[in-house]
Structures are given as C-alpha cells and as structure tokens.
Structure 1
Amino acid sequence: MWSHPHLGLHAVVDSDGSVRLGRPGQDRACLVPLVEVTATGHGRMWSGERFIETSIGDRLTYRGHETVQDENRERTTIRLADPVTELAAEVTLETTSGAASLRARVRLVNEGSTPLRVESVTTLTLGGITDADGALDGLTLHWADNDWLAECRWRQTAFRDQVVPLSRSAHGHEGRGCFERYSQGSWSTGRHLPVAALTDRDGRAWLWQIESSAGWRFETGEREGAAYVALFGPDDAHHQWRHTLAPGEDFHTVPAVLVRAEAGGLDAAFGELTDYRRGIRRDHPDHRTLPVIYNDYMNTLMGDPTTEKLMPLIEAAAAAGAEVFVIDAGWYDDDAQGWWDSVGAWEPATNRFPDGIQEVLDAIRRHGMTPGLWLEPEVVGVRSPLAHTLPPEAFFRRGGVRVTEHGRHHLDLRHPAARAHLDSVVDRLVDEWGVGYLKLDYNINIGPGTENGLESAGAGLLGHHRAHLDWMASLLDRHPSLVLENCGSGGLRMDYAQLAVAQVQSTSDQQDLLRYPPIAAAAATAATPEQAAVWAYPQPGHSQDEIAFTLTGALLGRIHLSGFLNLMDDDQFALVSSAISVYKDIRPEISGARPFWPLGLPAWEDTWIAHGLRSQESTLLTLWRRQPPSGGADMRQAQRDQNGSGATACTLELPHLRGTAQRPTVLHPVATDSTAVWDAAEGRLTVCLPRPDTAVLVRVSSGS
C-alpha cells in the first residue's frame, strides 16, 4: 500500500492485519509493528529495557490509508486500530520527490468509552537492518555525545560491541536490552544529539533524527537476526511523561526522520539530512544572505557592556565588515547584587548607558549594521518583581510548588500572562528600539517539566515547548525581518524543533580556540551550515597564526565574530578584514552546499581535522592542524590515516572529484606558507601546514 523507492521500503500488511515497514522479501519476524504503544494496564509482551514488542503495538491492525500529493511532497496516512482499548493510530509518512528521507508523525485517538493513560509511543519504527551479507557483524553504530563546551562529539563502535549475540536459538527469545540514548530535562541536547546512524562496510547508511525540544529517545537492538530502530518522543520511564487520553481526545507525537544512503556512508546520509532540514524549516531571507554577526560577549566584554566599552567595538566591527552587532548579556544589569537572579523585565541599565541604550543602538545603525540584543525569555529571576506580579500558574510548578533552578523560575508559555509579558518585551525591543536580531538563550535545565493540574511533568514540558515554538513563530509573523538565534548555553538545545523556526544556532560557549575545531567541524551534523554559528574571537595579544586559526574555523558556517578588534595593530586587523572578505565571497555557496568529512567525523583530541562543503560551484575545505596531545592520546588519529600526529602534510580523499582537473587555492589566510596539491588520478588533495595550531580554508574548483 506504500513504498519509497529511494529508501527501498514498503509498508506491508500481514494476513493478521499488522502493518510493518521493511524491504521487499524480508522475513516478517525481523520487522517491527508500525506503531508501538505502552499504556497503563497494557505493557510489553517481553519485559525488559526495550519499548518495542508492546501489547497494543501487536494488536494494532490495518484500517485504511490515503495518499495526498502537494507539489513535490507526498503524504500517506495509514490508519490502525486496537480492538481491545479502541485506541486508533494515524501514521503520517511524508516523502519528497527524489529524496532519500522519510518523515513520520503519529496521531493517537481514544475512540473508546474510558480514559487511557499512554506511557510511551513510537514516532517511527524500522526493522530488518543488516549488512550487505544479511548479518549484523558488518554494522557500525554512530552517535553523538553532547555537553557544555564539548558539543557534537561523535562516537562509533561495532554494533556487536553494544548488542552482543545471545544465541537466540538456545533460549527461544531475544535479549531484554538494547542500545539507547535519550534526553534528560529541558536541555534537549544536554547529553546527546537526537541524531544517530547505522552503517555497513559497503557504504550503506541509515541515519535518523528526532525533532523534540522536550523529551526524546531512540533505541536499537537485535530482532530475529536483524537490527531494528525505534524513535520516540518523551516517555514515562525516562522523562516522567504520561498522557491521559479521555474518550475522543487525541495526541500528536513529535516528528522524526529516517534517511537512507545506498552508498557514500555517513557523508552521503548527512547530505540527505541537510537537504531535508532545509526543506522543513521556516523560510527566511537570513538563510540566503548570511550576514556577518559581531557579538560582544565571547572572550571580550563577557556580560559587562557599557556605552564606553561598546562604542569603539562598534566602529571596529563595522570596519572589519560585520553586518549585525549583538549586545550580549548584561545590558539590563542595574542591580548592585548582580543580574543573574533578577532578570525578567528586560529594561536597559541606566548605569551602563547614561544617555540611554538608544544611543548605542543608533550608533550600530549609523555604522551600517543591524542592532541585536541578548534575551533569555523563558526565565524570571527569583528577585525580579515579575516573580511576584505574574500569577503562580504562569510558572513551572511541581507538587504545587514553584520550581527554582540556579536562582531562576521558569515561565510556562501556555499561560496567557506569560506570553503577553514576552510579547510586550519583544515588540518594544523591535518596534520602539529598532532591534533586528535577538539571541534567545536558555541557561538552566529545569528538570522533567511542570505539573499543571493532573498532567505529568513530562507532558507539561512538552506542552510548554510547543507553546514556545508557537510563540517564536508568532514573533516572526509580526516581524518578518527579525532574526532569531537559538542558544542553550551554547549547543544544549540544538534540535530541529527549535531550528525549524530559529534562523541561527549557537554551537558552543567554548572559549579555548584550540578546543573549538572538533565542535566547528562536526557542527553541520547538528544544524545546516548556514545556521551553525561558530565563534571567531581574534585578540590583539594573538599571533598571526592564532588569529588565522580562530577565524578559519567559522568560515564554512555562520561567523560569530568577537574580540577587541579596536585594539589590534594594522596587520592584525587586516587579517580579520581579509577573512570576512573571503567569507562574503563564498557565502552564496554555503546555503546550498552539502557537508562532508574527508578524515571522518573528528574525535576530541585529533591532531588533523577536516570539514568540507560540496556545492555545484566548488568544493570548500577547512583543515586544522593542532599540537598533538601529550601522553600519546592521538594514537586513534595515527592509526586511522596516513598523516600521523607529527606530519606537516595531510592527504584528503575526495572521491567525488577523482579523475577531474581541479585547481586548489588557499583562500585564507592569504599570506601563508601552506600549500595544497591536487592528484587527479587518485582523487587526493595534499595540504601542507608547516606548523601546529594552524588552519587553512582551501577551495578546489575546475575554474582558473
């Protein structure tokens, strides 16, 4: 009844009415029911850590389906029903013509006469995954750990290292465990990215993404000699999420996407995922213009802006080529006890701006830049007057007690008073102050959520986040040219629920320029390149190599320029201006390019790190060479490639250009002793970086 030619998948109805996704000719036993649901009183048929093999999932049977085509998209809705609970499930499978991606959502409806308390539900399931030999030994599992200052750290291991063979024939059952990753609390990516993959030795890849700013979880394991994947939003066991469906009520799961690459491994799969991400997000001119952003925070004012400090930075940033100037945290700080636990009103500090903040905003505009401000809209400090004037129901509560975390309360944007307060703040900043860019930060993990009446904490968190996304969209409806940056202490809320609405994503708060490369290189696994903002914070105390190093890392994404540019000498400032000029030349290519990693996704201590973008015009490559860590920690890199930790040159495989005449050009830094040589027959680019802790941006193209 449904098939996807690029994924090679079919939705198959068995003789008993069960619907499962799989590839043609597969044994039904290794497949998974299209929807798996646990509910109080209706658990699993085989108890363990897995949330598949559920009683309701086993009973859900085919009721009908319909397909709707809209331009180049096709949506098929498959309807299922459980005769025992009278729970109906509508599974929407969305595909795009020519794309190897499948987006899924599930709507549950209680068609019975009694309430049903749902405890988990899948958005998407897939079984029957094997290597080219039809086994599991050739599969590799990939996932990304995430942490403050250490985002996008990809791991890989043999599937069999995590899901060991248990001799099913001897026991008559599969194991009780699985490999799982999940979020905890309100930082959706505080522990891991909601993205992972399975690959095999022949370059095939399955890559998935869950789109949730509240709770999410995925699991993979073995089922009848094949791997399965199950993708979830929040659930009871991991997120304190339970949702009671009264008769006639419905619930919509968070979306998830599955990508298939028949060849090319992770690079090809992430290329498909990048295209998909561009297709689901809200359209905005920022995605095409990619203005250069200067932000006064990182390694510069660090939350201590004043008129006196900002004026010379504004002049220097404009001279360097910045097009947006963001005044970061602290502009509202007018409290002798500090601002952290007093925020909420978002009024300018008179002691910081004696003649008003408008003087500074006017100066930004006068220098040809768009003014921006930092805002943390979802929190109210415990000492803020708003903590007492807003009604108790406007805040997160658990057990009837208002939640406090790190000196802050948390607004529940489902409450009209909370939303009206933030609407008035943003409308004042945009309409009255002329602000065109808002950095929306989020610096606390509020825990499992909020209990509003009888709802569970996890259900409250999901409800708030859906209201938060709706609020963000309403801002853009009222102010179409406004740009929203999504920040969660850097990259701790870096998911495509947020990024389908926000234009820019902060990738990290990492202040060490030598620690940023693995984050910058892997950022395109979490966000499209044109949304992934990387800090570049050159300083007057830096050497030319250090200035070039920190600037180079931002050139294949979005530049978050910072640093005391006003105190630089002429040579240092010229190097900064040169990098910005290069970026403006290449940025038209970024918004349509696909990312790839010639050395593989980086490890945290790698000496050589490479990240590239492929477009129709050319191939752009950033290559970093860092000082090898002490104690031989770089053995992984030495074993992985031919370059070694002490080498001065690195050879990159570019198979998509093999056999073609190409010319490599070092774009940045322009005055460099680095070289790049192309071997057309082998499809290899050899780049020489004579000194450690240096980096270059290289263009490889057929043009002169």
Structure 2
Amino acid sequence: MPITYLEKENIFEIRTAQSSYVFGINEKGTIQHLYWGDHIEASECGYLLVGRLHSSFDAEIDRETEEYGGWGGCNYAEPALKVSFADGVRDLRLGYKSYRIVSENEIVIRMADAYYPLFVDVHYKVLPAYDLIERYVQVHNGLNESVRIEQIMAAVWTVQALPDYRMTHVTGRWAGEYQLRSTVLSEGKKVLESRRGFTGPHANPWFAIDNGQADETSGRVWFGALGWSGNWKIVAEKTTFGHVRIVGGVNDFDSSFVLAPGEVYASPVFVGGFTSGGFGQMSRNLHQYQNDYVLPTSKLRKVLYNSWEATEFAVTVEGQKELAQQAARLGVERFVVDDGWFGERHSDRAGLGDWYVNAEKFPNGLEELIDHVKGLGMEFGLWVEPESVNPDSDLFRAHPEWVYQFPTREGTQLRNQLLLNLGLPEVKQFVLHFMTTLLTKYDIRFIKWDMNRTVTEPGTMASCQDADGSMWIKHVHHLYDIWSELRGRFPHVEFETCAGGGARIDLGILRYADQAWISDNTDARDRLSIQEGFSYAYSPSVMMCWVTESPHGFNGRSLPLSYRFHSAMMGGLGIGANISKWSTEELDEAKRYVELYKEIRPVILNGDLYRLSSLRDSNVAAYQYNSTERNESIVFTFLQSQHFGSEVRHLLLQDLVSHAAYAVTIDEGEPFVRHGSTLMNLGLAVSLRGDYKSLMIRIKRLD
C-alpha cells in the first residue's frame, strides 16, 4: 500500500516505487518529519520521534522538522502559516488532531489551533510510479470572526543528514531564461521568488537538492515544483543543527487576505520527489508526471508557422495569405497570425484592448483568411494579450478605472501599455466575453495568450478598494477561471502560455495550457542553453521552439538551416522566419526537415529525455530521446566550434536493450548496425568539424 499508518509507533509512511517518506506524531502533538529517501522500514524510525532541546535559545529543535507548522511559540523558522486573529492574537499553535485516508493514494492530516477553531488539512497525494507526492493545504475558519492570513505555504519539505547541501535552480531574464545555477547552502536562507505578478523569467518555482556529488546519471536528488502563476516564494533554510527545510507557496509579500467565518482557502499544489538516479531521472519523473497528470490533453504539438517576424504590425490579408501558401508548401499544420490584426493596432502604442478585427487590414472580415488557411489544409490560430491595454484605446477611454493604479499616482507604462486588474469581476467578465465571442464567431483552433508586462502599482480606484483580499492572488484565480471556462466551452481549441517569453510557465498554468513559449530569444545556439535548463523541470512536450532567420537579429549570429532545425526539433516545432524571402533551396530543405520531424515527433514529445552532454561542460552538446517501448531513439548533437584539428567523439547512449541490435542512421548516411551494449558502453562514434555543426541520429531496434 502506498500509505500506511503504524498505530503502535504513531508513524505514517508514504511509499513510492523507489522511496520512503516517513513522519509521525511526537509526544507534544507535533507532526514531525523523520525520513525521506531510499526505501527503509518505517517501523524502525520510532526512536527519531522525540522532542529535542538544546538550550533555552533552541528550546524545540524538533519544530525545525515539522511537516507543517504555524508561526507561534518557539518557532523561529520560515513559517508555513502565519495568521492574525480578530482579538489581536498573532500566535498560532497547531497540533495534530486526526487523519483521514481518502483513497489508497491520498491521505489528509488535520491540524487544529490549541484554542481557536482554526483547522488546517494537510493533503498528500501519492504518485508511486513517478516517486512523487503532491501536497497542498486547506485552511478552514471555524470562528465567528474573520481571520487574516499573513502567510500560507503549500508545503514544507525536509532533507536531513547530508554532509553538504547543494541547491540547483534556474535564473535568467527576458531572452535569457532558464539558466542553470547551483549553490552550496550554508546556514541561513536561500530565497527564490517572484514579486512581479506572474511566475517570472528571473526565477522559476522549481528546486533540486543534493549532497554536491549528484550528476546526470547518478546520485540522490530531492526536488520539487510549485504550481502557481502569480507571486510565489520558495525558501531553502539550513539550520545550525544540519536540517534543510524547503517552504514554498504564494508569496506573502503584499498578499495578506481575510478568511471570513466558515470560509476555506486552498493553497496551490507543491509536488516533491526523490530519486537516486541523478538529475536525469529527476527530470524524466517530472516529465512523465506532467504528461500523464498535469497537462489538459495528450495531443502531439502541431507544426506551426507564426507570421510575427515576417510582418510585425504590418498585417494585411493578402500578405498573410501569401505567407500561408508558403507555410503549407513546407508542410506546416497550423498558421498563426500574431499581433496587429485587431483594433487600430499599427504599432505597440495603440489598440491593445480593442478586440475587433481591423476592417482596413481585413476588408472582408477574418473569415477570408481563415477559409484560405483551411483550404490549404492548415488550422488557424491567433495571438491575443487579454490582460493588457494601451492608454490609446477605446477600452481605456471607456474604463480607465479597470487598470491597476493608485488614486494619487500615474500608472507606469511598460511597452506603452498598462495592465488590467483581472481581479475585478467586471474585468474578468469582459475578457471572458470577448474571448468567447472570438472563439464562437471564427473557426480558431489555437490561441497564443501573451502578457508583455509585469504588475506595477497594484491598486484600484479608492471607491473599489478591497482591504480584505489580495489583488495578486485574485488576478491568478480569475486567470485560471477564464482558462478553465474557455477550455470547457471550446475543447477543440489549444492554448499556449506566453509572457514576454517564458515568464508564465509553472505547474499551475500547465493544467490549462497545451504548450508554452519559453523565450522570445530564438537564436538556435542560445536556445540550446534555454531549452536544456527548461528540461530540468518541464517536459519537452510543451516546449515550443522556432526556426528563425540567419543571421539572427538578437545576436547577429549566422547558423546553418540544419542547425536551426535540429535545435527547434527538440520540442514542439515552429517556424517564425520570413519564409517569403527564403530561396527555393531553403524551402525544399525546410520541407524535408518538417517531414522528418513529423516522423520522429512521437518519440520527441512522448519519450524519455537523456541529456548526454552539455555545452556548459564542453564544446559538444548531445540529447537523446527514447521511445517508451525502447525500440527507437533520436539523438541530436551540436558542436560549438572545432579546436586543434578533427576529433572523433563517442556518445555514450543510455537505456537501450543491451543484447538488442539497432540500425543507426547519422543524418542522411547509410545505416549500420550496433548492439545496445556497444552503443551504451563504447559509445557511438561521431565526427563534427567546423563551427556550429549539428547532426541528427536515428536508432531503431531490429529485433
């Protein structure tokens, strides 16, 4: 059984395929974490279940390993829950009350304050095959008075008894997202967070902890990812007694709210896991979890063309029709019109918020283009940015009170736009109404939902002030409500999450989004680093990658078309270049790559990813995708630059069947046969020369 209660020892064990997670109730009623790692016998952990005292300055060391606890008494660590009661008491004394097994894979531990009828239900849902546990909490206000929630975290994870602790996470900025970083945790706190209103490009709510010796293929790794698309916080705190506790949830900054009598608040889900198979196995567990449990559908990503780089705001029906014809010639399956199709949208200075089709650009309506695209055998998609508004728009002139603003302040314009206060019911209804109208009137099969600014001046007009709620939280809840309702009404429409690149990607929005735009930087070399960092936490099945121009406008770098396609074929393939200027030779080459991608797409999007080599460590990167049946592998390898003459490199492949024979085809060369044992232990010999060279290798089992 995944969940066991040992009554004699007062211990709970959550058991996955490869791990044990153990906690119990000590003599003081504290829910104390005992162990998390490779399998053990939980019944033999009883001796750990004791209160600990060091001195009057550290009177309750066992509280450093609480499963979930409130701020009160002798707790000085980052609190899981901090509240203020109506009578001014700010002390919270949570203790164990009961447990309830919901199913064989889910248990709820109920905690209660020692005096007030405030209850906290700590939920654990086990996903045994993936060595993962989903956690969240519900807070019930049983008082006759309101309670102010100052801070509420989704979960507390504890890692104990390591000689050293190393934390791995990602950082970045616009056009440079998902850059991997590692840091040794000394005593104190390491805080990852966003205060910008969305998940953010500067950090992402995912972490990994190891002893400093884990690598891609081996070593014990503890990890977690939070599902929240607004302000969030993850705190890794190492105590002087050698524990590390990781607390994560909605950021408490400027986010207190009132829980009325009888109300219940549910936190986001914070999933955590353990593996002894290194960072590679960590990623594969997270990828399969997302594919099987998080994402709304299991559809394979369609090859799309987006017209932004070809036209920017100079959208015309004839120009789009010409691009659509070229895209269809390449084998594209979905044609997407980006910004510039609506309102008086001739630049980024006006029109945002006026979601009607521009009659000058589309004199016969949008149907003319949609019918043309469909006639070419493609689906039609549109770009929208529903949460933002230009001051120069009919919407803002009609409803200036709908934007975030403080009464005595002028709102900051970023990208010449302000942000709508989606937490207001009338704004939520406006967005839901125009999106429903758009998707009802037109045969649209894809929506790219963008958000090109952070939240600033998070206030409302004085007459609308709500001192009881958090605008930061309401914005996200209403966003989820809108996406949920649109998905229910229009199940044939697929959605992409985008926020100035990869600033809104997390396990919260991915419960509604089919795919994600991970960066506005489409330089194929930069993308290797961005995509690699992204893959540590998120599945390639949601990762959209475009082939764009060379030389690239961002870096001025020139790259072969083969390199650009190989880089973009490692997730969902898109094309964003101005293909009307491509030569016949380039179009023919691109068509061959699109056809090839469609053949290998199931392996790329549904298979297991193995990061064989990284440009962080050498001048060669290599990535292997295995089909779930282990009968086919796709390998992409990239050379940064050649030094000191030619060199044959051996790529050590992973997770093949040792005794099986495989046909190996390198690019368009003649296939040859190698056994799995040879490919894994001696390796596959490849020769790459020059600068920015790449190869795609197909490996198929013969028996």
Give the TM-score normalised by the residue count of structure 1: 0.84
1:89 aligned to 2:89?
no
1:20 aligned to 2:66?
no
Q: What residue number does 2:8 align with?
A: none
Cα gap change, 1:156 to 1:654, in 2 (>3 Å): farther
Cα gap change, 1:376 to 1:295, in 2 (>3 Å): same
Cα gap change, 1:400 to 1:243, in 2 (>3 Å): farther
TM superposition shift of 1:666? 4.5
1:419 aligned to 2:428?
yes
1:46-65 correspondence to structure 2 within 5 Å: 46=76, 50-51=78-79, 59-65=93-99
TM superposition shift of 1:550? 0.8
Cα gap change, 1:692 to 1:93, in 2 (>3 Å): same
For 1:562 and 1:516, how far apart are their aligned partners in 2?
Answer: 14
For 2:429 and 2:636, how far apart are their aligned partners in 1?
Answer: 45
Q: What residue number does 1:125 align with?
A: 156
RMSD between aligned alpha carbons? 3.3
Q: What residue number does 1:517 align with?
A: 528
Counterpart code for 2:68: V
Q: What residue number does 2:581 align with?
A: 567
For 1:269 and 1:488, how far apart are their aligned partners in 2?
Answer: 26
TM superposition shift of 1:84? 4.0
1:342-357 correspondence to structure 2 within 5 Å: 342-357=351-366
Larger CA deviation: 560-569 vs 269-278: 560-569
Cα gap change, 1:155 to 1:37, in 2 (>3 Å): same
TM superposition shift of 1:387? 1.5
For 1:351 and 1:307, how far apart are their aligned partners in 2?
Answer: 9
- 1:660-685 C-alpha deviation (Å, 9 max, x unpaired): 445364465x3799999983462523
Q: What residue number does 1:471 align with?
A: 482
1:502 aligned to 2:513?
yes
Aligned 8 A contact 1:321 1:581 in 2: yes
TM superposition shift of 1:226? 3.5
TM superposition shift of 1:111? 2.6
From 154, 158, 163, the counterpart of 1:136: 163
1:66 aligned to 2:93?
no
TM superposition shift of 1:189? 2.4
For 2:350 and 2:98, how far apart are their aligned partners in 1?
Answer: 55
- 1:251-282 C-alpha deviation (Å, 9 max, x unpaired): 22111100111x22011011111122123335
Aligned 8 A contact 1:662 1:700 in 2: no
TM superposition shift of 1:58? 8.0
Aligned 8 A contact 1:184 1:447 in 2: no
Q: What residue number does 2:9 align with?
A: none
Aligned 8 A contact 1:540 1:572 in 2: no
The count of corresponding residues between Structure 1 and Structure 2 is 649
1:170-249 correspondence to structure 2 within 5 Å: 175=187, 177-200=188-211, 201=213, 203-223=219-239, 225-236=241-252, 239-249=253-263
Q: What residue number does 1:594 align with?
A: 608
Task: Give SS of 1:598's match.
Answer: strand
Q: Between the two proteins, what is the percent identity of the paired residues? A: 19
Counterpart code for 1:22: L
For 1:142 and 1:180, how far apart are their aligned partners in 2?
Answer: 12
From 212, 229, 250, the counterpart of 2:264: 250
TM superposition shift of 1:593? 1.6
TM superposition shift of 1:317? 0.7
1:549-698 correspondence to structure 2 within 5 Å: 549-599=563-613, 603=616, 607-615=619-627, 616=629, 617-627=631-641, 648-657=647-656, 659-663=658-662, 665-666=664-665, 668=667, 670=668, 679-680=678-679, 682=681, 684-698=683-697
Task: Give SS of 1:373's match.
Answer: strand
Counterpart code for 1:415: L
Counterpart code for 1:471: I
1:292 aligned to 2:303?
yes
Task: Give SS of 2:67's match.
Answer: coil
Task: Give SS of 1:186's match.
Answer: coil
For 1:419 and 1:455, how far apart are their aligned partners in 2?
Answer: 19
Aligned 8 A contact 1:315 1:367 in 2: yes
Counterpart code for 2:163: L
Cα gap change, 1:544 to 1:34, in 2 (>3 Å): closer
For 2:141 and 2:113, how far apart are their aligned partners in 1?
Answer: 10
Task: Give SS of 1:534's match.
Answer: strand
Task: Give SS of 1:530's match.
Answer: helix
Task: Give SS of 1:192's match.
Answer: coil
1:147 aligned to 2:173?
yes
TM superposition shift of 1:566? 3.3
1:262-273 correspondence to structure 2 within 5 Å: 263-273=276-286
Counterpart code for 1:656: D
Aligned 8 A contact 1:664 1:698 in 2: no
For 2:639 and 2:661, how far apart are their aligned partners in 1?
Answer: 23
Aligned 8 A contact 1:342 1:383 in 2: yes
Task: Give SS of 1:693's match.
Answer: strand
1:370 aligned to 2:379?
yes
Counterpart code for 1:684: G
Task: Give SS of 2:279's match.
Answer: helix
For 1:117 and 1:320, how far apart are their aligned partners in 2?
Answer: 58
TM superposition shift of 1:436? 1.2
Structure 2 gap ranges (5+)? 6-11, 36-41, 50-60, 84-89
TM superposition shift of 1:354? 4.0
Task: Give SS of 1:288's match.
Answer: coil
Counterpart code for 1:191: H
Aligned 8 A contact 1:36 1:54 in 2: no
Counterpart code for 2:98: G
Q: What residue number does 1:638 align with?
A: none
For 1:671 and 1:358, how far apart are their aligned partners in 2?
Answer: 46
- 1:117-139 C-alpha deviation (Å, 9 max, x unpaired): 22222211122434xxxx323x4
- 1:150-185 C-alpha deviation (Å, 9 max, x unpaired): 11111123x3xx31xxxxxxxxxxx5x212211121
For 2:244 and 2:274, how far apart are their aligned partners in 1?
Answer: 14
For 2:133 and 2:236, how far apart are their aligned partners in 1?
Answer: 18
Aligned 8 A contact 2:237 2:246 in 1: no
Q: What residue number does 1:462 align with?
A: 473
Structure 1 gap ranges (5+)? 164-174, 629-643
Counterpart code for 1:214: G
Cα gap change, 1:99 to 1:681, in 2 (>3 Å): closer
Counterpart code for 2:312: M
Task: Give SS of 1:178's match.
Answer: strand
- 1:551-591 C-alpha deviation (Å, 9 max, x unpaired): 11121210121223333333222211111111111112234
Larger CA deviation: 417-426 vs 687-696: 417-426
